[in-house]
Structure 1
Amino acid sequence: MSERSLKFAIIGHECKRQLLQPHVERMVSYLEAHDSTAVIEPEDLSDTDYIISLGGDGTFLKAAGRVGKRQIPIIGVNMGRLGFLADVLPSEIEQTLEKVFNHDYYIENHTVIQLFSDGQPLQNNPFALNDIAVLKRDSASMISIRTYINGDFLVNYQADGLIVATPTGSTAYSLSNGGPIIVPQSGSLCITPVAPHSLNIRPIVINDTSEIVLEVESRSHNFLAAIDGRSEKMAEGTRLTIRKAPYVVKIVKQKNQRYFSTLHEKLMWGADTRQ
């Protein structure tokens, strides 16, 4: 049992409330039986000890965005399919909460990156746990992305877009575009082009203390900046800067979980998919 009453905030997928309701009721009943408080979709996260993300990795990203700098640990319950971030099965909810009460878990710190526009933070949540991407808006033309690392010119990408991914995001959009899988806490970021014009252009892994500057040109004179999938229209000539954020996202992990075992299972490495 915990030494004091704990407060849990439950954040779920808005479109799946009916599907999630039985699991929410289970959690609320369990927490109340353990003298703890459960608040569903609270506006205010003050005094919250833990966040429970109930959904897939998209819901987890939403929860991480809500937490921001507050450093509240997040428990991800996977109601989706793949679930790299949300890795607790619905059948493991009570078991996982019991381990939280008994302090039988560990916290995994995940790097966050931040987007600045012409040297100023964006107004609408400029922080990303997975990735920040610049993408073309029209279907015909590539965009030109002049890229600098710590002030040094890297390359002028001619591509449909460019992804800057954290280790957490290396198994998401970046991976689908041929980027490498990066182990959490490796201190790295990956720059992955989207459909580059030149076959010689490949993803590159850099230190996460690096400052990345992007200058984008487009025939349509604008482009998209996507921050964990949240897109903003940007004007051509806008100078973008990406840096590591001054905080991390804390994820609750069970002690028997291992990253490479999770990779093996989620990506079905070694599985015979022949019919």
Structure 2
Amino acid sequence: MPKIIGLVVNRTKPNAVQVTQQIVKAIGACSGQVFIEEEAAHALGMSEYALSTSDFHGKVDLIFVLGGDGTLLGAARHFACFEIPMLGINIGHLGFLSEAEPDNLEESVQRVLNGDFYLERRMMIETVVMRNGTCVHRNIALNDVGVGKSSFARMIQLGVYVDNQFYDEYFGDGVLVSTPTGSTAYSLSCGGPVVVPNLQVMLVTPICAHKLVVRPIVIGATQQIRIKVAARHRDFGLTVDGQVGFPLESGDEVIVSKAACDTVLIRWQERAFFSILQEKLRGD
């Protein structure tokens, strides 16, 4: 059973200090050991627990991520290659990816240290930007990769290919390539379908395409998506999980495929995907 916990903390959240202190106390009460990412530990006045995130691999059994969905997405990209299991603890807004809440911290810590959970693997995608035959950017995403124009720019032209076969051409704001996890994020707002997280597929969702008939598509995870970018202006780029940006140039090709690593999430047996979907996204 896991005994050494690493904490990743979003220090901008109002209750970050209080929740971190509660978790450290709860882990100690269960005879566990805790480390806190170095910068957060110093900022929160808990330097005795500091450990660089580069040293988490090999020293922690799993990671508690304190924040919202954005914090967990960043942690997923950072730690995915090590596949360290992560528990999201929601001290943010939506917390769709989180499994625990601040009002049940002690219970959550006890469950984890007693092994009362299961692990859920979430597919990730890798994106490569090719410019004149050279790779100029590479990244991975848990939610999505977007190719789009900036706020006040004119439309861009995007040619979409699946396994080197031409699929469609879009004039509009852009296009998203999403994982099943990302199907409940930006893609959902653009009219994409909800996909259960254990499927091995990718979604291609146009963003405000200037067409009478346009539909998102779902393809297999073993396939490759290639997006050719064209525009008369330079005000467009690539976004990864809505957090990492990279400027694109006309003629660039964005290639998206299944990543070699997965995000591993800690889950409770009694919480089902569709109940979470109703709880978080029904809009009541």
The TM-score with structure 1 as length reference comes to 0.91
Residue in 2 that maps onto 1:177: 190
- State the match for 2:109 in structure 1: 97
- Answering whether residue 8 of structure 2 is matched by residue 11 of structure 1, we say yes
C-alpha displacement at 1:79, in angstroms?
Answer: 1.1
Tell whether the 8 Å contact from 2:72 to 2:88 is kept in structure 1 after alignment.
Answer: yes
Instruction: Please state how far the C-alpha of 1:240 moved relative to its aligned partner.
Output: 1.3
Distance 1:241 1:141 in 2: 23
Q: 2: distance between equivalents of 1:138 and 1:77?
A: 33
Cα separation, partners in 2 of 1:70 and 1:244, compared to 1, 3 Å? same
How far off its partner does 1:268 sit?
2.3
Q: For residue 62 of structure 1, report the CA deviation from its aligned partner.
A: 1.4
Question: CA-to-partner distance for each residue in 1:239-263, whole Å, 9 max, x for gaps?
Answer: 1110000111000001111111111
Give the Cα separation in 1 of the matches to 2:134 and 2:208. 29
Cα offset, 1:222, TM superposition: 5.4
Q: How many residues align?
A: 265
RMSD over aligned CA atoms reads 1.7
Alignment correspondent of 1:265: 279
The code of the aligned residue for 1:32 comes to G
> Could you tell me the percent identity over the aligned residues?
34
CA contact under 8 A between 1:51 and 1:63: conserved in structure 2?
no
Query: Are the equivalent residues in 2 in contact too, given 1:138–1:220 (CA < 8 A)?
Result: no
- Is 1:211 the equivalent of 2:224? yes
The within-5 A match list for 1:80-91 is 80-91=92-103
Partner residue in 2 for 1:133: 146
Aligned partner letter, 2:265: I
Secondary structure of the structure 1 residue equivalent to 2:12: helix
Shift of residue 64 of structure 1? 0.8
Question: CA shift at 1:135, angstroms?
Answer: 0.7
CA separation of 1:258 and 1:79: change in aligned 2, threshold 3 A: same
> Which residue identity lines up with residue 145 of structure 1 in the other structure?
L
Match of 1:36 in 2: 32
2:213 to 195, 200, 204: 200
1:21 alignment partner in structure 2: 17
TM-score by length of 2: 0.88
Q: For residue 252 of structure 2, what is the aligned residue in structure 1?
A: 238
Deviation, 1:204, is: 0.9
Match status 1:45 vs 2:56: yes
Structure 2 residues not aligned, in runs of 5+? 38-50
Moved more, 255-264 or 34-43: 34-43
- The whole-number CA distance in structure 2 between the counterparts of 1:25 and 1:10 is 11
| Secondary structure of 2:248 counterpart | strand
CA distance in 2, matches of 1:62, 1:204: 26
Shift of 1:205: 1.0
**Aligned counterpart, 2:237:** 224
